Amino acid sequence: MDVDREAIARSRALLAAGQPAKALEEIASILAASPDDYDCLLIAASAETDLERGKDAVVHAEAAVQLRPDAEYPLRVLAFALMVDRWLGPARDAAQRAIELEPNSWRTHYVRAAVDVRGRRLSPQSVYSAEEAVILAQRAEHSCAVGSGASDGW
């Protein structure tokens, strides 16, 4: 089946606009027909996380991680999904793996710090990640301001 990329784009826009339920509706038929579509899995996991449906979010995020085990983005999505139901140890592990894959991304460090804040557990690693997220975000903002296009995708 050819996947409807326009529906996926609409779903991403709905998710970005704070409408996770509508985003899920937009991709429901695609996900049913193509349950291993990487983009749909990540949109579904993110939308379900926003709707605080942790178990469903984790299923979709884990499937995305299986499809691209060397990508940091699905690990970040998984970490947030795990946080919804307060599975903080596994969330911390996913966030740490994302950092190992992409140590120069403010987003990976942000997720690691967010997991520990959610769990009210501050460690030297969480403080480091919070500080690193700020430093790297400032660098990325500066790079974008001068037009280098060096920012990574969200």
Tally of helices (H runs) and strands (E runs) in the chain: 8, 0
Residue 139 above 90 pLDDT? no
Residue 147 above 50 pLDDT? no
CA distance 5 to 69: 23
CA distance 46 to 34: 18
pLDDT digits (tens, 9 = 90+) for 42-73: 999 999 999 999 999 999 999 999 999 999 99
Mean pLDDT on 137-146: 69
